[in-house]
Structure 1
């Protein structure tokens, strides 16, 4: 039972809150891939995220629900970001701090399908991160409740892509006609999901600045080509600093992204100067390119950049809570599947 504690200011927002979802069709059952989102979905979620940022109250049918956080890979920002959004919606997060101790791992042999069948009977929604490509899809096949893919190996991270689009639209006003650069390892799941959403945004071009020893994945190039978005590959950040409107940075090497939690693999931690941003470099270029990063950063963005007016990555984190609230709110409103 939840008592109403609305202030006069809250009551004045009642109509806004009633209309939060009036203009949307029924959302898909799960959020597994950015490929499943339409432009209408992206626009609606951005509007809802902005409403939450402005103080809109969560839908009454969401308050009090339980969200299970199953992170089979280590996570700080994504896990805490979801927890912050869950609490802000008036919901309850549950989960294990160390999923390597769970029976749902390779050591004990419980399948992801069984894990989903069990946890979906104890919660109203599941957020899963796993080192295996397709893990979220496997769980969705047996889950009675919505599944959000919080990252599955090299494959996808759709909520981060939504956060990135929300942040890019906020910083640039519009992505249409702009030059968007990806700096760092192009193989990461955040890059793949964001490229899928950029197909709706009509940028002038997408520029990749990858390490010379890693090729841009063919499926990313094919998506851009299919949607007639110009693509360039460069090997020095000086070019996008002068020519791009926004640079979405990533670590120089993300080879640990497909590793299980107990793996001892450590990615290289040295970024060459050609692929590293410092305040001096940005200022010498007289660059107005907005700098983003899904985090965590290693050494690819020097802390000297943090106070630059075009450093957007901490604002990107602030906005992430509202987009996660929007996604959670929609999926929690759907209910149980037959």
Structure 2
């Protein structure tokens, strides 16, 4: 992923795996600049443009945030939230490539969520318009990663030199991508609390080692809260992200060592910002919501502005970006 124009073809946002610190900060700066613009000026940036959201998997925050971001920038919004309502999900089983080619004939940019790892790259290979990856299988979730790390940056005054705790399956696409962005920003350490039966993926370990980022594994969420500057949890109850739908058997409750509640926070005795990409189940008790450490709703708003930055990046030339 780069911040410069490609030599040919549309400018896509498919992966954060190769992002460097300077590019990450440029996205942070662009999101902040868009947030600071007067509403009328912001709404003129993508006037007369149309953004399609093609979601082959269920979504609440990501889809609505992209649509809200497009609205803030003045773009029209179209698309589908349920593939079963399309020819890709009925008897015809229209191919991803055909869907992308056809949508690309109608809109100026395509935001794609898909249950297959690598689907976003497949779409970009045939799309006549920019493709933004909104999550593909167990691969990546670039908008979540950039938005969440920007939130960390705002809360901590920069993640450089900070200790960041990540709780959940490190292969889940949101944590997977967050690790890639953190690797570029020189945190002091990333501390994982993996979900049962999971481990830190090899590509994450290699990227940390290549960038000189220390990482370790904790045994209890109290260890993260006691030793980290910020904790992001996605919990441990997850369906298979490689399937088209999420109606699958999952554990009935989160094991105690992965749960955060007000009583635990009082025992730890530290005010550590807590993030969550959603959806929440029982891994963060609702008694945490009113506490100053609960930053998961401001995180959603920051994520919307980061999505606006991504749309502006793929649809505007660099000289039109408000930087």
Q: Does 1:38 align with 2:17?
A: no
* Larger-Rg structure: 1
3-state SS in 2 of match to 1:34 = coil
3-state SS in 1 of match to 2:231 = strand
Given candidates 221, 234, 244, the residue that maps to 2:218 is 234
Given candidates 163, 170, 179, the residue that maps to 2:147 is 163
> How big is each residue's C-alpha offset from its partner over 1:188-236, in whole Å with a ceiling of 9 and x where there is no partner?
0011111111112111111111123222222212211221111111120
Partner of 2:249: 266
Maintained 8 Å contact 1:259/1:265: no
CA RMSD of aligned residues (A): 1.9
Stretch deviating more after TM superposition (291-300 or 39-48): 39-48
How far is 1:316 from its partner? 0.3
Partner of 1:26: 5
How far is 1:26 from its partner? 3.0
3-state SS in 2 of match to 1:67 = strand
Given candidates 174, 183, 197, the residue that maps to 2:158 is 174
How far is 1:36 from its partner? 4.1
3-state SS in 2 of match to 1:282 = helix
Partner of 1:313: 296
How far is 1:123 from its partner? 0.2
The number of equivalent residue pairs is 311
Task: Identify unmatched segments of 5+ residues in structure 1.
Answer: 1-23
> How big is each residue's C-alpha offset from its partner over 1:158-210, in whole Å with a ceiling of 9 and x where there is no partner?
01111011100000001111110111222200111111111121111111111
Maintained 8 Å contact 1:276/1:299: yes
3-state SS in 2 of match to 1:288 = coil
The residue correspondences of 1:206-285 to structure 2 (distance < 5 A) are 206-261=190-245, 264-285=247-268
Task: Identify unmatched segments of 5+ residues in structure 2.
Answer: 318-323
Given candidates 127, 136, 141, the residue that maps to 1:143 is 127
Maintained 8 Å contact 2:19/2:184: no
Maintained 8 Å contact 2:57/2:82: no
Partner of 1:289: 272
How far is 1:247 from its partner? 0.5
Stretch deviating more after TM superposition (25-34 or 83-92): 25-34
Partner of 2:32: 50
3-state SS in 2 of match to 1:141 = helix
Maintained 8 Å contact 2:140/2:176: yes
Q: Distance in 2 between matches of 1:36 and 1:224?
A: 12
3-state SS in 1 of match to 2:126 = coil
TM-score normalized with structure 2 length:
0.91
